[in-house]
Amino acid sequence: MAVHLTRVKSRLSIHAHRKVRGLLEGEYAALHAGRSMDFNDLREYVRGDDVKDIDWKASARSRALLVKRYAALRQHTIQLVVSTGRSMAALQSRDVPKRDLAVMTAGILGWLAVRHGDLVGVAWGDADEQHLLRPQRGELPLERGLQAIHDATATTSGASDLAALVEYVVRTVRRRTVLALVCDAWELDEAALAAVKRLAVQHEVLFVTVGGIDPTSEDLALDTLTDVETGRPLPQWIADDEELRRQYADMLVADATSLKRQLDGLGIVHAHVADEASVIKTVFDLLEHHRHARRR
């Protein structure tokens, strides 16, 4: 049963679906001419051209026989890469773990690619182990990949290790792809930065971060929450300390600014999933940004 894809589809209205697909399809125009529905330009007729491509009206105006050329549409490979370390099993809000947002983000991108007829591969992992499902066509392989991501993300999983996961992808995914990396890293350490830099040389990288719950929020009942790394409950005084709340907010801004600077330096577009309601908008913004970046 396609549980995860069903949730993805239910979150996308027809209008949103068309808009996102349009953004994705903008990435698929080939540089060479070929048969498709997208008109490219006109050129003079040469022996061997298909007579059906002759533009008789334009030919009459220019007094030269002209044929229409179209932008060929290519099948692409989309590679989804999701960090499944135990930090991704932490909560994003009281009832929603970060894992669910990561699966939803990957699911939206993967499903749109499947609808376009592209191949979709899925990779996931933590510090202890990494896995890869080779690119395939269709919804069923994508659903298997999303289920694998969901099942691998637990408080008992290995520590999150973006560098290890990216290095694994660099070694195993050799053919150039559009690669969407979903993680909860707020800053790239030296090892992760070097690995992501190698990844960006090989592929077109989309970088998505998933936010976590704010432990300084006054609305939380901290006695019911535990730290996924230590297993210990969070102390109540965290939510009662106004100065700590301010420092935490400043830290988030500083980390986000630092990560953006690092990714901008590599020419990688980045989007941040702040909460469950913003997942679709985040994907919209990511694809729009990527499309404009490629045109520059």
Q: Where does the chain have alpha helices with state H?
A: 3-11, 14-25, 56-62, 98-115, 139-152, 162-172, 190-202, 242-265, 279-295
Q: 241-293: per-residue pLDDT in tens?
A: 778 878 878 888 888 899 999 999 999 999 999 888 889 889 888 888 887 77
Residues 262, 1: Cα–Cα separation, whole Å: 40
Question: For position 258, what pLDDT does the model report?
Answer: 92
- The answer to whether 123 and 165 are in contact (CB under 8 A) is yes
* Per-residue confidence (pLDDT) for residue 15, from 0 to 100: 42
The pLDDT value recorded for residue 236 is: 63
| Exposure letters 285-296 (e unless 16+ CB within 10 A, then b) | bbbbebbeeeee
Tally of helices (H runs) and strands (E runs) in the chain: 9, 9
Taking the whole predicted model, whether its pTM rises above 0.95 is answered as: no
Residue 33 to residue 66: CA distance in whole angstroms: 15
Helix (H, G, I), strand (E, B) or coil at 210: strand
Q: Given this model, what pLDDT does residue 295 score?
A: 62
Q: Residues in the chain with pLDDT < 50?
A: 14-18, 21, 25-35, 37
pLDDT at 259: 93
